[in-house]
Structure 1
Amino acid sequence: MSRIPKAKTEVVEDMIDGLFSDNPSRQLKYATKFNAFLSSHEENFPFDEIEVSVFVARFVEFCKKNDKTELQSAAASVLINMSKRNTKVLIDHGAVPIFVHLLRFETGYLQFQATWALGNVASASTQSRDDVLRCGALIPLLAQLHVNNNIMMLRIAAWTLSTFCCGQPRPPFHQEMKPALAVLGQVLRFNDKEVLSHACTALYYLFDGSRETSQIFIAAGLVPGLVQLLGYGSPAVIEPAIRTIRNLTNVDDQQTKIVVINCGALRLIANLLTQNHQIDIKRGACSTISNFTAGTKELIQSVIDAHLIPILVNLAQNAELGIKETALCAIVNATLRGSYAQIKYLVKQGCIQTLCDLLICQDRRIISVCLDGLENILNAAEAEKMIEDMQSYCQLIQDEDGIKKIQKLVQIVSYEINRKASKILQTYGMIYKG
Structure 2
Amino acid sequence: MAERTSRLSSYKNAGQGTTELRRKRAELSVALRKQARDEQLLKRRAMSPETETPVETEKVMTPEEILDELKSQDLTRKTNAARAARRMLSREQKPPISIMVNAGVIKPLVEALDHDECSDLQFEAAWALTNIASGTRQHTMAVVDGGAVPKLISLLGQGGVVGEQCAWALGNIAGDGPETRDMILNAGIMQALVPLLNAQTPTSQLRIAVWTYSNLCRNKNPLVQFDLVAPALPYISDLLEISDQDVLADSCWALSYLTDGPNERIEGVQTTRHLLPRLVSLLEHPAPAVATPALRALGNMLTGSDIQTDRCLDADCLKPISRLLSASPALSKEAAWACSNVFAGTAPQIQRAIDSGVLEPIARVLVHHDIKCQKEAAWAITNLCLGGTPEQLDAMLSCDILSPYCALLQARDHRAIIVVLDGLTHLLQAAAKYDQVRGMCIKLEEIGALDQIENLQQHENEQIYKKSIHILDSYFMEEEDASTQPAHDHEQYQFRTNDAAIHF
Equivalent in 227, 231, 242 of residue 190 of structure 1: 242
Output the amino acid matched with 1:96: V
SS at match of 1:124: coil
Mapped to 2, the partners of 1:365 and 1:402 lie a distance apart of 17
Equivalent in 303, 306, 318 of residue 254 of structure 1: 306
Q: Match of 2:419? A: 369
Within 5 Å, give how 1:36-185 maps onto structure 2.
36-40=87-91, 43-45=94-96, 48=99, 51-53=102-104, 55-85=105-135, 86-104=139-157, 106-185=158-237
Determine whether 1:30 maps to 2:78.
Answer: no
Determine whether 1:351 maps to 2:396.
Answer: no
For residues 25 and 271 of structure 1, do their structure 2 counterparts lie closer, same or farther at Cα, with a shift above 3 Å needed?
same
Output the amino acid matched with 1:31: A
Q: Which moved more, 1:289-298 or 1:374-383?
A: 374-383
Q: CA deviation at 1:125?
A: 2.8
Q: Match of 2:258? A: 206
Post-superposition Cα deviations, 1:194-230, rounded to whole Å, max 9, x if no partner, equal: 1111111111222242222222122213322221111
For residues 93 and 177 of structure 1, do their structure 2 counterparts lie closer, same or farther at Cα, with a shift above 3 Å needed?
same
Within 5 Å, give how 1:225-304 maps onto structure 2.
225-251=278-304, 253-275=305-327, 277=328, 279-304=329-354
Mapped to 1, the partners of 2:323 and 2:263 lie a distance apart of 28
For residues 427 and 173 of structure 1, do their structure 2 counterparts lie closer, same or farther at Cα, with a shift above 3 Å needed?
same
Mapped to 1, the partners of 2:430 and 2:192 lie a distance apart of 58
Q: Which moved more, 1:339-348 or 1:169-178?
A: 169-178
Q: CA deviation at 1:61?
A: 1.9
> Do the aligned residues in 2 keep the contact of 1:170 with 1:206 (CA within 8 Å)?
no
SS at match of 2:82: helix
Q: Match of 1:4? A: none
For residues 123 and 395 of structure 1, do their structure 2 counterparts lie closer, same or farther at Cα, with a shift above 3 Å needed?
same
Q: Which moved more, 1:216-225 or 1:327-336?
A: 216-225
Q: Which moved more, 1:358-367 or 1:176-185?
A: 358-367
The two structures, once aligned, show a CA RMSD in angstroms of 2.3
TM-score norm. by structure 2 comes to 0.78
Q: Match of 1:5? A: none
Output the amino acid matched with 1:375: T
Q: Match of 1:6? A: none
Within 5 Å, give how 1:306-385 maps onto structure 2.
306-384=356-434
Q: CA deviation at 1:52?
A: 4.3
Mapped to 1, the partners of 2:450 and 2:334 lie a distance apart of 33
Mapped to 1, the partners of 2:476 and 2:348 lie a distance apart of 34
> Do the aligned residues in 2 keep the contact of 1:31 with 1:78 (CA within 8 Å)?
yes
Output the amino acid matched with 2:84: K
Output the amino acid matched with 1:23: D
Mapped to 1, the partners of 2:373 and 2:145 lie a distance apart of 47
Mapped to 2, the partners of 1:95 and 1:124 lie a distance apart of 15
> Do the aligned residues in 1 keep the contact of 2:90 with 2:131 (CA within 8 Å)?
yes
Mapped to 2, the partners of 1:258 and 1:374 lie a distance apart of 28
Q: CA deviation at 1:238?
A: 1.4
SS at match of 1:178: helix
> Do the aligned residues in 1 keep the contact of 2:256 with 2:293 (CA within 8 Å)?
yes
Output the amino acid matched with 2:276: V
Q: Which moved more, 1:21-30 or 1:151-160?
A: 21-30
> Do the aligned residues in 1 keep the contact of 2:306 with 2:345 (CA within 8 Å)?
yes
Q: CA deviation at 1:176?
A: 1.4
Q: Match of 2:276? A: 223
Please identify runs of 4+ aligned residues in structure 1 that moved more than 6 A: none
For residues 40 and 274 of structure 1, do their structure 2 counterparts lie closer, same or farther at Cα, with a shift above 3 Å needed?
closer
Report 1 or 2 for greater relative contact order, CA contacts < 8 Å, sequence distance ≥ 6: 2
Post-superposition Cα deviations, 1:9-58, rounded to whole Å, max 9, x if no partner, equal: 951876554332222222223332332233248615176587443x2221
Mapped to 2, the partners of 1:245 and 1:10 lie a distance apart of 51
> Do the aligned residues in 2 keep the contact of 1:77 with 1:113 (CA within 8 Å)?
yes
Q: CA deviation at 1:171?
A: 4.8
Mapped to 1, the partners of 2:251 and 2:222 lie a distance apart of 16
Post-superposition Cα deviations, 1:52-102, rounded to whole Å, max 9, x if no partner, equal: 43x222122221121222322232222223332332222222211111111
> Do the aligned residues in 2 keep the contact of 1:130 with 1:171 (CA within 8 Å)?
no
Mapped to 2, the partners of 1:411 and 1:103 lie a distance apart of 64
Q: Which moved more, 1:115-124 or 1:71-80?
A: 71-80
Mapped to 2, the partners of 1:410 and 1:169 lie a distance apart of 40
SS at match of 1:164: helix
Q: Which runs of 5+ in 1 are unaligned?
A: 1-8
Mapped to 2, the partners of 1:12 and 1:88 lie a distance apart of 20
Mapped to 2, the partners of 1:218 and 1:185 lie a distance apart of 10
SS at match of 2:175: helix
Which of the two has greater helix per residue?
1
For residues 290 and 41 of structure 1, do their structure 2 counterparts lie closer, same or farther at Cα, with a shift above 3 Å needed?
closer
Mapped to 2, the partners of 1:41 and 1:237 lie a distance apart of 27
Determine whether 1:427 maps to 2:474.
Answer: yes
Mapped to 1, the partners of 2:400 and 2:299 lie a distance apart of 26
Q: Which runs of 5+ in 2 are unaligned?
A: 1-59, 482-504
Equivalent in 395, 402, 417 of residue 449 of structure 2: 402
> Do the aligned residues in 2 keep the contact of 1:410 with 1:419 (CA within 8 Å)?
yes
For residues 432 and 406 of structure 1, do their structure 2 counterparts lie closer, same or farther at Cα, with a shift above 3 Å needed?
farther
> Do the aligned residues in 2 keep the contact of 1:355 with 1:371 (CA within 8 Å)?
no
